[in-house]
């Protein structure tokens, strides 16, 4: 049975919370009174993001699994990001889709709390993994003597596991303080309550500190790369051979690719944080429903970007994408041509085995 926000607020509820609950009621009305065209449009956008996130990130995992050359230290971080995006699309997005289809809250309190916990944890996994990537690139480019010692395959796996454990602990102070996630009909998912206290703002420390660290690391990395390229050009002009350590083209390309994943993530999540801070500043939810829905869609968009970035920036991933697409097309044509001339059951079985190898 669907739990609904009561139309009247008990007298024991603080006045600030009472005003927040009242401000949320209007979004329930706006959600329920949408036109059929708007329902179809919003539902289609949400569904497309879910499908793109699942297919794209599963494809990344499959390519890394099938190609041993891609099982590198940077791609361990890529796998971690893909897993976080898959879980975000599989756990957090479907309840949003059901709300957009039905025009009302369709899930109970357990799903609400699970959704709020998963969103906070998985967003933290993505951000902390990207911060770890920035630190990895910093040591590779700026402090190469220490890189091999710090970033072995085993140590990298331990770091990634630690990030996941730490991220799953991020929502615990909020929950253990007695707070619970609250359904927001504008955002169509469950979010933390709009109260300015230590526990509600603590989660944003997990945002500000990593962003500062990764910004500092990438600033230093790209500054070092510019200086390195300037030295190389100077040596070429003077025909002087030097023992200056050369940064490989592959390392530079990987660094740029991983930096673009950070840019894509921040482009989506900085507006989300701004909307939240506006809410905390106002003490109520007063922005338009379209703003809050765009907030949700930006979060979903962030789960779909990385596979496209790898395809555009990384030649190995791009080649693997082409191979898989060509294989699908060839198998489809071969299946159609063969089945036209031979419809036996054994032929069907042989084709299925060939195309799935």
Average pLDDT over residues 48-62: 95
Q: What is the pLDDT of residues 239-249, one digit of tens each?
A: 655 545 567 77
**Would you state the pLDDT for residue 323?**
78
Is the predicted pLDDT of residue 340 greater than 60, yes or no? Answer: no
CB 190 within 8 A of CB 116: yes
- Tell me the three state secondary structure of residue 346: helix
Q: What is the pLDDT of residues 134-144, one digit of tens each?
A: 999 999 998 98
d(CA 351, CA 339): 9
Burial class (CB in 10 A: 0-12, 13-18, 19+), 1: exposed
d(CA 39, CA 32): 10
Half-sphere exposure of 165 (CA within 13 A, CB side): 6
Nearest CA-CA partner of 317 in 252, 259, 249, 257: 257
CB 105 within 8 A of CB 4: yes
d(CA 335, CA 352): 9
Winning range, highest mean pLDDT, from 61-75, 192-206, 311-325: 61-75
Q: How confident is the model at residue 123 (pLDDT cuts 50, 70, 90)?
A: very high
**Rounded to the nearest 5 degrees, what angle is found at the Cα of 111, between the Cα atoms of 106 and 116?**
110
Winning range, highest mean pLDDT, from 80-84, 147-151, 236-240, 279-283: 80-84
CA distances, 318 to each of 69, 191, 312, 324, 331 (Å):
14, 37, 7, 10, 20
Q: How confident is the model at residue 18 (pLDDT cuts 50, 70, 90)?
A: low
**Would you state the pLDDT for residue 10?**
43
Q: What is the pLDDT of residues 245-289, one digit of tens each?
A: 567 777 888 888 889 999 999 999 999 989 988 988 887 888 999
Nearest CA-CA partner of 199 in 167, 176, 165: 176
- Tell me the three state secondary structure of residue 132: helix
Average pLDDT over residues 100-117: 95
- Domain residue ranges in the chain: 35-238+246-326
**Would you state the pLDDT for residue 236?**
64
* DSSP string for residues in 99-114: HHHHTS--S-HHHHHH
Q: How confident is the model at residue 348 (pLDDT cuts 50, 70, 90)?
A: very low
CB 45 within 8 A of CB 263: no
**Would you state the pLDDT for residue 238?**
65
**Nearest 5°: phi and psi at 133?**
-60, -45
Contacts of residue 159, defined as CB under 8 A and 6 or more positions apart, other chains included, come to: 132
d(CA 207, CA 124): 8
Percentage with pLDDT > 70 across the chain: 81
Q: Which residue has better confidence, 149 or 336?
A: 149
Q: How confident is the model at residue 339 (pLDDT cuts 50, 70, 90)?
A: very low
**Would you state the pLDDT for residue 79?**
95
**Residues forming beta bridges with residue 183, ordered by sequence position:** 190
Average pLDDT over residues 73-82: 94
CATH (one of 3.30.420.10, 1.20.1070.10, 3.20.20.80, 1.10.3720.10) for 35-238+246-326:
1.20.1070.10
* DSSP string for residues in 277-319: HHHHHHTS--S-HHHHHHHHHHHHHHTTHHHHHHHHH-HHHHH
Where are the alpha helices (H) located in 170-248, listed in sequence order? Answer: 172-176, 198-238
- Determine which of 21-30, 44-53, 148-157, 227-236 has the lowest per-residue pLDDT on average: 227-236
CB 56 within 8 A of CB 308: yes
């Amino acid at each position: 049975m669907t739990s609904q926000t009561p139309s009247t607020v008990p007298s024991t509820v603080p006045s600030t919370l009472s005003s927040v609950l009242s401000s949320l009621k209007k979004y329930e009305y706006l959600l329920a009174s949408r036109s059929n065209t708007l329902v179809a449009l919003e539902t289609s956008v949400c569904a497309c993001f879910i499908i793109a996130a699942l297919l794209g990130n599963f494809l990344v995992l499959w390519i890394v699994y099938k190609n041993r050359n891609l099982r590198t230290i940077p791609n361990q971080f890529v796998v971690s990001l893909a897993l976080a995006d898959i879980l975000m699309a599989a756990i957090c997005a479907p309840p949003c889709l059901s709300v957009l289809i039905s025009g009302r809250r369709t899930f109970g309190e357990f799903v609400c709390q699970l959704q709020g916990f998963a969103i906070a944890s998985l967003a933290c996994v993505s951000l902390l993994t990207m911060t770890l990537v920035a630190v990895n690139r910093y040591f590779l480019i700026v402090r190469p003597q220490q890189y091999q010692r710090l970033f072995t395959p085993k140590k990298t796996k331990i770091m990634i596991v630690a990030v996941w454990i730490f991220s799953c602990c991020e929502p615990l102070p909020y929950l253990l303080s007695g707070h619970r996630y609250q359904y927001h009909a504008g955002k169509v998912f469950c979010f933390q309550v709009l109260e300015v206290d230590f526990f509600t703002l603590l989660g944003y420390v997990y945002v500000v500190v990593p962003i500062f660290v990764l910004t500092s690391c990438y600033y230093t990395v790209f500054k070092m790369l510019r200086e390195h390229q300037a030295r190389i050009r100077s040596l070429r002009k003077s025909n002087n051979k030097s023992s200056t350590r050369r940064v490989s083209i592959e390392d530079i390309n990987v660094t740029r690719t991983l930096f673009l994943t950070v840019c894509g993530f921040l482009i989506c999540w900085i507006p989300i944080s701004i909307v939240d801070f506006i809410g905390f500043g106002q003490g109520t939810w007063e922005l338009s429903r379209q703003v809050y829905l765009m907030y949700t869609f930006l979060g979903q968009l962030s789960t779909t970007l990385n596979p496209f970035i790898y395809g555009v920036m990384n030649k190995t991933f791009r080649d693997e994408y082409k191979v898989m697409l060509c294989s699908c097309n060839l198998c489809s044509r071969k299946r159609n041509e063969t089945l036209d001339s031979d419809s036996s059951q054994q032929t069907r079985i042989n084709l299925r085995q060939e195309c799935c190898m």
